Amino acid sequence: MCGIVGCVSKENCYEKILSTLSGLEYRGYDSAGIAMLSSSKTLNVRKKKGYVSNLKGKPLPGETGIGHTRWATHGKPSDANAHPHVSGKFALVHNGIVENFRALKGELLEQGEEFLSETDSEVIVKLIAKAYRGDFFEAVVKACERLEGSYALAVLCSDDPGEIIGVRQGSPLVAGAAPDALYLCSDVPALCGAAEFICPASDGEFIRIRDGNICFCDGNGREICKEFSRVPPESRSSSVMSGTFMEKEIAEIPRALSDTFKSLSATDFAPCARILRGARHVYAVACGTALHAAQAFGDIAESEVRCPVSCFAASEFRYRDPLIGRDDLLVAVSQSGETADTLQAARLAKERGAYVLAVTNIAQSSLASLADFTIVMRAGSEIAVAATKSYNCQLLCLYYLAAQMKYYRVQEFPDWFSQFSSLSSAAEEVFACFPQMSALAAKFKDARGMFYLGRGLDVRTAAEGALKVKEIAYVFAEGYAAGELKHGTLALIEEGFPVFAVSTCSALASKTENALAEAKARGARTVLFSQNVSALSESCADFKCALPVIHEKLMPILAVIPLQYFACRMCLLRGFDPDKPRNLAKSVTVE
């Protein structure tokens, strides 16, 4: 997704902007650009299709600048569509979508304006230039009043060197301060390498950087009192010495689980005791990988807590006019805490009077500031677009939440509660199967499709394994309930078709095995993942992967690890970069 940066420094800040833009690369993008404003009131722009590294070269002059990584929405990736966009004295970068841009563009065309790009963003800079009567701030406010949709902006005006105006409406924006420079940025992880103190903006807030200060204000220019916090050490940008971020992040799973577990404390849940004890109906919403975690939470919480739990893709929840209301709990799960659909679902729940509990990796995220209560997982920064360690940590936090809910209701913890402390070492044991996963990836690398089967909680693991291989190895995969195989998809099985089955639930092991046998009988090459010794020994599977033994209800946290690694190996063997899958973005800040 698009990322924006702004920087004001005493010296030339081109390199600072370039390096902060590199920190935003993980979000996914297709072009990048920088506009610099010098003290002699000259604006210079460099923008290019492709990588941030294309902007390297002799720094453009200036102590004030803005930068952008673009993920195409309106108009294909090209130099012309790349940001910053310029009109008269103004340069602008934008993250978000202006929903009424066609009407606004039509109006501007009628007034004789000419457009150099196909983007919705160019409309904004033209509106600002037209509204300008010598007051930079007033022009930005006036233009924003015309916009519908979501946006975070950073704007320069050549009359005001040393000043950047930022505004946030629906898309994330954070201010950052360091001794040698002041910043605006789309996200905390990218800013952490540069800034020492940060402060996120809320919707409707403007940020003015000028005269060596950062000031938050409303549209009338009234100052808003905000508190800056020190950059959390775990958010600082990480770098990968060798291999890929995805491999590094899979390797970090044991530490991430251990850090997350240590950070969870029963007493922290006291502020939400009322709702944990008395919620009438629990809703869980999320997108993508986080949705699989939310669904596993639904399975676990409903069976342990004996209270109805409904899980929805956040994008669906928003538009189904849900019955949610007072005395209901909405659990919103999001690694980034910035996913537009998840945020909107949480806002809707709040509007209807429900209690919103967030599970996120970013304590300063929009979701965390919107929620009534937040569980911050300690996965550490996740750079690869495909989520890995954050999924394991989301599951841990959600299991912990389910356990607290049970305790508040019946003063009893689930019997798996005492085994959380073993998860980290068990995750390390799982790594022993990585050579086997590499060998399987070599065998299956030319597969045109795959099935991932499971029953009970294993359905979630199967779905997540399939998502991983689709998004980074570009192999079509279906992950679903094994019992459904003979209701249609069995028709797709042909000689050599890979079928993976995850079977960690002893009561359902024989049923999963039956599905695998049915697939094998039709020529499938089958792989079984289980911690259950008898399930493994009795299985007809062509390949068997033994998982460490831990309480079977906790197995989803571990059983997904070989599937994450398998997808990564498939991707590399097929010649792709797992950190930057095509068309995808790390932080999906538009609907």
DSSP state of 170: B
- Which residue, 2 or 43, has its beta carbon nearer to ligand F6R? 2
Which DSSP category does 220 fall into? T
Integer angstrom CA distances of residue 263 from 233, 238, 268, 382, 421: 15, 21, 10, 18, 12
Q: Does 177 bind ligand F6R (CB under 6 A)?
A: no
Our finding on whether 364 is near ligand F6R (CB under 6 A) is no
Q: Which of residues 439-468 bind ligand F6R (CB under 6 A)?
A: 467
Sign of CA dihedral 588, 348, 228, 221: positive
Among 64, 81, 186, 334, binds ligand F6R (CB under 6 A): 334
Member of 158, 186, 258, 342 binding ligand F6R (CB under 6 A): 342
Q: Which residue is nearest to ligand F6R (CB)?
A: 288
22 vs 394 by CB, closer to ligand F6R? 394
When asked if residue 235 is in the footprint of ligand F6R (CB under 6 A), the reply is: no
Q: Smallest gap, in angstroms, from Cβ of residue 561 to ligand F6R?
A: 14
Between residues 503 and 587, which has the closer beta carbon with respect to ligand F6R? 587
In sign, the C-alpha dihedral spanning 556, 558, 563, 568 is positive
Closest separation in Å from C-beta 418 to ligand F6R: 29
**Count of positions on this chain that bind ligand F6R (CB under 6 A):** 14
588 touching ligand F6R, by CB under 6 A: yes
Judge if the upstream peptide bond of residue 308 is cis by omega within 30 degrees of 0: no
For residue 332, the minimal CB distance to ligand F6R (Å) is: 9
- Please, are residues 100 and 118 in contact by the beta-carbon 8 Å criterion? no
Catalytic status, residue 393: no
- Give the residue with the Cβ less far from ligand F6R, 123 or 290: 290
Q: Is 552 in the site for ligand F6R (CB under 6 A)?
A: no
**Closest separation between CB of residue 560 and ligand F6R, Å?**
11
**Interface with ligand F6R includes 335 (CB under 6 A)?**
yes
If the CB atoms of residues 150 and 342 are measured against ligand F6R, the closer one turns out to be 342
Adjacency order of strands within the sheet including 43-49: 43-49, 31-37, 64-70, 3-9, 181-185, 174-178, 197-200, 229-230
CA distance 70 to 96: 10
Site map for ligand F6R, 378-417, x if CB under 6 A? --------xx------------------------------
| Nearest distance, CB of residue 387 and ligand F6R, angstroms | 4
- The two structure tokens encoding residue 103: 């009407």
- Pick the closer one to ligand F6R by CB: 165 or 568: 568
Residue among 127 and 185 whose Cβ is closer to ligand F6R:
185
- C-alpha to C-alpha distance for 174 and 152, rounded to whole angstroms: 10
**Residue 230 burial (C-beta neighbours within 10 Å; 0-12, 13-18, 19+):** exposed
Rg (CA), the chain: 25
What distance lies between CA 507 and its chain's CA centroid? 35
| Long-range Cβ contacts of 511-517 (<8 Å, 24+ apart) | 511/455, 511/482, 511/483, 512/453, 512/454, 512/455, 512/458, 512/482, 513/538, 513/539, 513/540, 515/453, 515/482, 515/483, 515/485, 515/486, 516/453, 516/482, 516/540, 516/541
Q: Does 339 bind ligand F6R (CB under 6 A)?
A: yes
Give, as ranges, the residues between 463 and 482 that touch ligand F6R (CB under 6 A): 467, 471
Residues of this chain, 280-299, that bind ligand F6R according to CB under 6 A: 287-290
2 catalytically annotated: yes
Considering the complex, state which of residue 244 and residue 526 has its C-beta at the smaller distance from ligand F6R: 244
Find the binder of ligand F6R among 121, 169, 336, 381 (CB under 6 A). Answer: 336
Return the range that interacts with ligand F6R (CB under 6 A); candidates 15-23, 87-95, 332-340, 445-453.
Answer: 332-340
Reported residue count of the chain is 591
Taking CB under 6 A as the binding criterion, the range among 75-83, 333-341, 526-534, 550-558 that sits at the site for ligand F6R is 333-341
Strands across the sheet containing 329-334: 309-313, 282-286, 329-334, 355-360, 373-376
> Which among 16, 47, 89, 586 is annotated as catalytic?
586
Within 10 angstroms of residue 176's Cβ, the number of other Cβ atoms is 27
For ligand F6R, give the closer residue by CB, 69 or 289. 289
Task: Pick the closest to residue 343 from 370, 320, 361, 363 (CA basis).
Answer: 370
Candidates 40-48, 223-231, 321-329, 330-338; binding stretch for ligand F6R (CB under 6 A) = 330-338
Catalytic residues: 2, 586
Interacting residues toward ligand F6R by CB under 6 A: 287-290, 334-336, 339, 342, 386-387, 467, 471, 588
